[in-house]
Amino acid sequence: MTVLRLEHIGIVVDDLAAAIAFFVALGLELEGEASVEGSSVDRINGLEGVRADIAMLRTPDGNGKVELARYRSPSYAGGDQPAPANAPGIRHILFVVDDIEASLDDLRAHGGELVGDLENYANSYRLCYVRGPAGIIVELAEKIG
């Protein structure tokens, strides 16, 4: 078996419009939106009565995609607290940007908040984590030099 490529990262959100706006502000392009439901969707998700709205966004180079999903049913009874950066599970998605300050300004305008500090890492990259809608954490990286 050989993996051919990484197609997309899927993220469940509670406000699809806010999440789309956040990723579009980062520079991703909206490919499309759809509503999904039915027995196949139920079986794939291992849930009953799935009804979800999804949006697919792609990076400007066309090589990376993010799928956002808002489940209308069944409801999720979990907690609202965003997990800290050291909690098990997927914590962040890294995007290389050409202007980290401008990217931060754009994301802040769409509810993004710095998790820690903007740092010069090993004189190689300027890096930071930004928390967005639904607690999504993106890491921004700008190459130095």
Checking if the pLDDT of 25 tops 90, the result is yes
Residue 106: half-sphere exposure toward Cβ, Cα within 13 Å: 15
Give the model's confidence band at 2: pLDDT under 50 very low, under 70 low, under 90 confident, else very high. confident
Angle at 102 between CA 32 and CA 119, to 5 degrees: 115
> Are 9-73 and 93-143 in the same CATH fold?
yes
Dihedral angle at the C-alpha atoms of 24, 134, 17, 46, nearest 10 degrees?
110
b/e for 21-57, b at 16 or more Cβ within 10 A? Answer: bbbebbebeeeeeeeeeeeeeeeeeeeeebebbbbbb
Per-domain residue ranges for the chain? 9-73, 93-143
Tokens of 32: 């499309």
**pLDDT score of 62:** 94
Fold of 9-73: 2,3-Dihydroxybiphenyl 1,2-Dioxygenase; domain 1 (3.10.180)
- The per-residue pLDDT for range 89-108, each reduced to its tens digit, is 777 899 999 999 999 999 99
pLDDT attached to residue 4: 78
- What are φ and ψ of residue 56, in 5° steps? -115, 130
Q: What φ, ψ does residue 24 adopt, rounded to 5°?
A: -65, -40
On the question of pLDDT at 79 being above 70, the answer is no
For the cut 80, the answer to whether the pLDDT of residue 78 exceeds it is no
Q: What is the pLDDT of residue 3?
A: 74
pLDDT at 50 over 70: yes
CA 88 to chain centroid: 17
What integer pLDDT is reported at residue 85 of this predicted model?
63
> What number is the average pLDDT over the span 127-137?
92
* Six-digit token string for 6: 């990484």
Pick the range with the lowest mean pLDDT from 11-20, 34-43, 75-84, 94-103: 75-84
Q: Is pLDDT at 111 greater than 90 in this prediction?
A: yes
**The CATH homologous superfamily of the domain defined by 93-143:** 2,3-Dihydroxybiphenyl 1,2-Dioxygenase, domain 1 (3.10.180.10)
pLDDT tens by residue, 53-74:
999 999 999 999 999 999 999 9
Backbone angles phi and psi of 2, in degrees to 5 = -135, 130
